[in-house]
């Protein structure tokens, strides 16, 4: 009997991505709440390099990095595959997942770059319900942070990012995606996430002000 545990926190969209994958594959798991403001000795031991959540523990063996956890889950539990079968499509899915994550890391700093990267992704979703086709897959989960994150950033920053007119297909995907039951149940509550982003933004602004 496999024992799966996930060290995570509810406001991390990286963790959320893994939770969705676990639910997508109907894998039972135990949720271990991590306090990122005061990291546990367990986390530091299991991910000594990045000291970051999420960490998946499978029969005691730790797997780090959310996208690598998706690959691991897909290789270990074959049912409900996340990645496409075709190696070329797999390469593309990985490429865009990495690309969006890299761009996303500068999120707070550069909305402009985020919008530019959305333009590429808009092309990929054109004419499809999900990136995975008729149902969700690896790329949907990998890009799953976009709907909630953009919607909250739009409100915090009083601006438009995932504009319906500029990105009609991505906008439609976002609507379909957040309706999927397992997605809905994995995403953090909007209000909590909103407060978290707002306080982070305030903190960053105060840092920037000090530098000036």
**Which chain residues interact with its own copies by CB under 8 A?**
49, 58, 61, 63-65, 68-69, 71-72, 75-76, 87-88, 90-91, 94-95, 98-99, 120
Please state the closest distance from residue 159 (CB atom) to its own copies, in A: 24
Which of residues 22 and 69 has its CB atom nearest to its own copies in the complex? 69
Please state the closest distance from residue 58 (CB atom) to its own copies, in A: 7
d(CA 28, CA 157): 38
* Tokens standing for residue 27: 């894998």
Please state the closest distance from residue 83 (CB atom) to its own copies, in A: 10
Half-sphere CA count of 7, side-chain side, radius 13 A: 26
* DSSP-assigned beta bridge partners for residue 143: none
Please state the closest distance from residue 96 (CB atom) to its own copies, in A: 9
User: What order of strands is seen across the sheet that includes strand 61-64?
Assistant: 30-33, 4-8, 55-58, 61-64
Which of residues 91 and 204 has its CB atom nearest to its own copies in the complex? 91
* Tokens standing for residue 1: 């009997």
Which of residues 122 and 154 has its CB atom nearest to its own copies in the complex? 122
Dihedral class, residue 26 (left if φ above 0, else alpha if ψ from -120 to 50, else beta)? left
d(CA 156, CA 166): 20
Which of residues 119 and 159 has its CB atom nearest to its own copies in the complex? 119
Please state the closest distance from residue 117 (CB atom) to its own copies, in A: 9
Please state the closest distance from residue 69 (CB atom) to its own copies, in A: 8
Contact 154/160 with Cβ under 8 angstroms? yes
Q: Which helix (H) or strand (E) segment is 91 a member of?
A: helix 87-105
Which of residues 55 and 197 has its CB atom nearest to its own copies in the complex? 55
Nearest to 148 by CA among 161, 138, 139: 161
Which of residues 49 and 112 has its CB atom nearest to its own copies in the complex? 49
């Amino acid at each position: 009997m496999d024992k799966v545990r996930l060290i995570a926190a509810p406001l991390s969209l990286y963790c959320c991505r893994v939770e969705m994958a676990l639910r997508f594959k109907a894998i039972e798991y135990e949720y271990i709440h991590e306090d990122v403001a005061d990291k546990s000795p367990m986390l530091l031991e299991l991910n000594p390099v990045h000291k970051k959540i999420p960490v998946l523990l499978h029969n005691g063996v730790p797997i780090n990095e959310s996208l690598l956890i998706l690959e691991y889950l897909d290789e270990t539990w074959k049912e409900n595959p996340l990645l496409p079968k075709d190696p070329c499509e797999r390469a593309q899915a990985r490429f865009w997942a990495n690309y969006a994550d890299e761009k996303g890391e500068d999120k707070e700093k550069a909305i402009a770059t985020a919008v530019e990267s959305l333009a590429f992704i808009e092309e990929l979703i054109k004419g499809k319900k999900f990136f995975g086709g008729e149902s969700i897959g690896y790329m949907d989960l990998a890009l799953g942070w976009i709907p909630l994150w953009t919607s909250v950033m739009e409100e915090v920053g009083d601006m438009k990012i995932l504009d319906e007119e500029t990105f009609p297909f991505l906008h439609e995907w976002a609507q379909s995606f957040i309706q999927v039951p397992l997605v809905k149940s994995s995403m953090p509550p909007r209000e909590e996430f909103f407060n978290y982003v707002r306080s982070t933004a305030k903190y960053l602004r105060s840092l920037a002000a000090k530098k000036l």
